[in-house]
Structure 1
């Protein structure tokens, strides 16, 4: 079958020309890099500025995308679309008006919380999930108005359900798996996934070993089975890919990602004391350009060619168009 356009809803790490070229040549037509985890406004603006520099320096490879039609342009001319997003809302620094400002600068995805409770809501790692706060409700409304996709990949389930109910439009879980398949605080309950789908949202199945079953890390066919089981929960129109693939991360990067500036204690993120450091990539996905191997595997588990096109990118494109045009 013809390779469909690949859209990956979440990656992180250090992106350079080597990575960008590998993704473009591997069939990716849009990827969301992580521009920040704990950074405030000024640092977040620095990250945006660096990506604008990268776009100028690699104009033949990439374009920063702001609309669904920009992604379609990448599909037509073979460039890699860069959809700008952050894994937290620290960049707002409690200012509702900053939502619109960052939207005007091209930000299209914001994860409401990262690994801690914040001003918007509860994290998956808190003992008690507060749900969406008053400020959180205003931010979610403002994000919908300004065309920014709300992401609940790291929130607690109550905050995710509140966001799904309160948001004027569909939201996303860009990189997680069903907790009913792999129990982990970072994964989402069937109740959340079904509510997400009922409102038109999409969940991106993650290939991060700490939150993914061993059998889904072993082979592309196994990961296709994970997707098929997620489709059984959400429906084929509401499942995509959000690999959570990371590039060139070292111990300092992992320490920042897991602890930021908020802790003196050792924190493992989605890992544990028994798996404290970097985890190996899935056996079938040693480099991100091998994601195209998932296409025939999806066919082997029973998906049709149009359904495969939806899972590999079409569902994200539909959601993006609904949220930001």
Structure 2
């Protein structure tokens, strides 16, 4: 019996050590910053940046990695201190619950080995999360709420229009107050159960991407095998999302799902992180027709920062993508959707946001247009459409 306890103790010690070593190593490999901070821009660009009233980003996967977001990290791309350093008022923290091995832009199977399972185990999460997508999702939701509670009023979880108004009022007095919203990347997290939509809503989720890198119970992914539209369950989920006040995110959706959602939704949609085919012709990106239909719906489009969405070099292509949406449907429909900490290499971390202002300034954008892209559009969209 004594030998058994020794063996079990050794196993526990090894497992504990693994939780301290493996997740940081994986994150460092998966989320590199090509040009580390500090960043510098022209005096004019910095002055414009300093005058921005509200800066927002529509997509970040930082919750996946197990970092304490209340501390400034030496890895990754976003945390609360870096948000404050960049004067970012609002970040959409999206929850990743499953990612297929061999993930690629063209074709993935739903039954491929799930990369998130070993990461979940390595992080030392509860065994209840190891093989349950909905439990992983609710756990990450609680994690953000706990981080925000630790901030003692310096951070606000945005679940309603009144929460956003409170954030805006607080920031008029104290720019160090930040806001976080919760989204889900891929409605496979619901595990095919409509009742789970109520659970994630109660947990604070206010945006759900219907698919991620593979087909699921709602329909086809842009990177899946079927390219199908909404299933009956998918239509049921969209209707209930409209009723509850959860935004439909069309990022990663098949063209057929995009068409089906725009035919049936009663609320404006979002595309939290994407590129445009006019800049990079990829099945992951939006066509001009899709952009026009989303604009007609009153939707908002977040431009991503990584090469598989915008091409290389990233910064001028990010600006070109923003410009294309502006010229096609109007400045009011475009925003930032970085995909920070989403297993992507990015040209700069969140403290490099002034580089975007300089890029738009050099491309001939006016100061009001720059302000719209950097956060005013997101502010207006949520004030108009949050319950």
**TM-score with structure 2 length normalisation?**
0.70
Instruction: Please list the CA deviations of residues 52-81 of structure 1 after superposition, one character each: whole Å capped at 9, or x if unmatched.
Output: 221122235422111232442454332121
Bigger radius of gyration among the two: 2
Q: Is the 8 A contact 1:29 1:74 kept in 2?
A: no
Instruction: Please list the CA deviations of residues 270-315 of structure 1 after superposition, one character each: whole Å capped at 9, or x if unmatched.
Output: xxxxxxxxx5422xx2x21111221233233222222222111122
Q: In the alignment, does 2:326 pair up with 1:228?
A: no
**TM-score with structure 1 length normalisation?**
0.83
1:112 shift after superposition: 0.5
Q: Is the 8 A contact 1:32 1:83 kept in 2?
A: yes
Count residues with an aligned counterpart: 289
Q: In the alignment, does 2:58 pair up with 1:9?
A: yes
Relative to structure 1, is the Cα distance of residues 135 and 73 closer, same or farther in structure 2, using a 3 angstrom cutoff? Answer: farther
Q: Is the 8 A contact 1:12 1:34 kept in 2?
A: yes
Q: 2:354 aligns with which of 289, 292, 303?
A: 292
Please identify, of 25-34 and 294-303, the stretch whose mean Cα deviation from structure 2 is larger: 294-303
Match of 2:255 in 1: 157
Match of 2:168 in 1: 72
Match of 1:63 in 2: 156
Q: CA separation in 2, counterparts of 1:289 and 1:64?
A: 21
1:243 shift after superposition: 0.7
Q: CA separation in 2, counterparts of 1:309 and 1:117?
A: 37
Match of 1:86 in 2: 184
Please identify, of 59-68 and 135-144, the stretch whose mean Cα deviation from structure 2 is larger: 59-68
Residues 12-23 of structure 1 correspond to what in structure 2 (within 5 A)?
A: 12-13=61-62, 14=65, 15=67, 16=69, 17-18=71-72, 19-23=79-83
Match of 1:145 in 2: 243
Q: CA RMSD in A?
A: 2.0
Task: List alignment gaps of at least 5 residues for structure 2.
Answer: 1-47, 73-78, 99-131
Residues 296-307 of structure 1 correspond to what in structure 2 (within 5 A)?
A: 296-307=358-369
Q: CA separation in 2, counterparts of 1:306 and 1:75?
A: 20
Please identify, of 147-156 and 290-299, the stretch whose mean Cα deviation from structure 2 is larger: 290-299
Relative to structure 1, is the Cα distance of residues 308 and 214 closer, same or farther in structure 2, using a 3 angstrom cutoff? Answer: same
1:233 shift after superposition: 2.5
Relative to structure 1, is the Cα distance of residues 209 and 314 closer, same or farther in structure 2, using a 3 angstrom cutoff? Answer: same
Q: 2:375 aligns with which of 301, 313, 316?
A: 313
1:232 shift after superposition: 1.8
Match of 1:322 in 2: 384
Q: In the alignment, does 2:338 pair up with 1:243?
A: yes
Match of 1:30 in 2: 90
Match of 1:115 in 2: 213
Relative to structure 1, is the Cα distance of residues 222 and 110 closer, same or farther in structure 2, using a 3 angstrom cutoff? Answer: closer
Relative to structure 1, is the Cα distance of residues 183 and 69 closer, same or farther in structure 2, using a 3 angstrom cutoff? Answer: same
Residues 120-199 of structure 1 correspond to what in structure 2 (within 5 A)?
A: 120-199=218-297
Relative to structure 1, is the Cα distance of residues 33 and 301 closer, same or farther in structure 2, using a 3 angstrom cutoff? Answer: same
1:213 shift after superposition: 2.1
Q: CA separation in 2, counterparts of 1:293 and 1:98?
A: 40
Instruction: Please list the CA deviations of residues 230-285 of structure 1 after superposition, one character each: whole Å capped at 9, or x if unmatched.
Output: 222232110101011117xxxxxx5xxxxxxxxxxxxxxxxxxxxxxxx5422xx2
Q: CA separation in 2, counterparts of 1:92 and 1:100?
A: 10
